[in-house]
Amino acid sequence: MLQKLLACALLATLTACASYSPDKLDIDRSIQATSQNSRVEYVVLHYTSASNEASLKILSERNVSSHYLVTDEPRPHVYLLVDESRRAWHAGVSAWYGRTDLNSASIGIEIVNAGFENNTWAPYNPTQMRTVAALLKDIIKRHQIKAFNVVGHSDIAPQRKIDPGPLFPWEALARQGIGRWYDPELARSHELEFSRTGLPDIAWIQRELQRVGYTVPASNKLDKATRNVIAAFQMHYRPESYTGQPDAQTLGILKALP
């Protein structure tokens, strides 16, 4: 830029410098700073509880959206509805490790799945889950997302949300290197210890849930809000039972979770 200005100044003595105008933006993008990283720190997973057509319509036309929508067709279709550099409206009031407004720093993936319908949970289509796994691997790699920041809507909004539900295959994804999981042997040894010595108090449970990212009251009481958080934790890490009631197995996993 400086050289150009000098050239213009020299030329100006001979003739008018027609090409230079200070009002016209001329941005040099040839040099990229080494100190930078992605603004995206989280991936949030959802189910749509609507059909392919309805999901697409809702997420593209109403006041709610996600970056990606994965259909449950025999050959799942992956829509990019909001560019990754922009903010989609999928998380709502939410928090993870104390950070709020997760829409501003996350990528949202909506998966077509009926959710809880007629008193039963709709299973996830295995082909669709392979597509979701491929999409997650790509996003995690490009944005360098940490394992513990791959979360479900219920993890970040446990008082309001239950998606992606207890049938979401977190453990299978963790075996492919996606998301956080626990050492089963360590969890089992903690479980046996709790079975022998009795469960720790509610204050300990609340502190541990907070340690692993959840927003939970520090009431030292098994109140409704605390039970909701325990249920969200169970849906993710021990989905066989998610009543929100603490037990030795749940707390063993909680203590083992990195």
| Total of chain residues touching Zn ion, rule CB under 5 A | 3
Binding mask 133-162 for Zn ion (x = CB under 5 A): --------------------x---------
Shortest distance in whole angstroms from residue 51 CB to Zn ion: 16
Work out whether 236 is an interface residue with Zn ion (CB under 5 A): no
* Closer residue to Zn ion in complex, CB, 92/217: 92
Work out whether 67 is an interface residue with Zn ion (CB under 5 A): no
Work out whether 163 is an interface residue with Zn ion (CB under 5 A): yes
* Closer residue to Zn ion in complex, CB, 52/220: 52
Q: How far is CA 12 from CA 2, 4, 6, 21, 26, in A?
A: 15, 12, 10, 13, 20
DSSP three-state, residue 219: coil
Shortest distance in whole angstroms from residue 153 CB to Zn ion: 3
What is the Cα–Cα distance from 43 to 148, expressed in whole angstroms? Answer: 10
Is 110 in the active site?
A: yes
What is the Cα–Cα distance from 110 to 113, expressed in whole angstroms? Answer: 9
CB proximity list for 156: less than 8 A, separation 6 or greater: 42, 44, 91, 94, 95, 96, 102
Q: Which residue in 41, 110, 117, 240 is the catalytic one?
A: 110
* Closer residue to Zn ion in complex, CB, 46/255: 46
The tokens of 214 are what? 């959840």
Binding mask 23-52 for Zn ion (x = CB under 5 A): -----------------------x------
The tokens of 51 are what? 């059909």
DSSP secondary structure string, 141-176? HHHT--GGGEEEHHHH-TTT--TT-TTS-HHHHHHT
* Closer residue to Zn ion in complex, CB, 46/238: 46
Alpha carbon of residue 14 to chain centroid: 61
Shortest distance in whole angstroms from residue 194 CB to Zn ion: 32
Shortest distance in whole angstroms from residue 110 CB to Zn ion: 7
| 101-140 binders of Zn ion (CB under 5 A) | none
Shortest distance in whole angstroms from residue 80 CB to Zn ion: 18
Residues forming the site for Zn ion (CB under 5 A):
46, 153, 163
> Which sequence positions are flagged as catalytic?
110
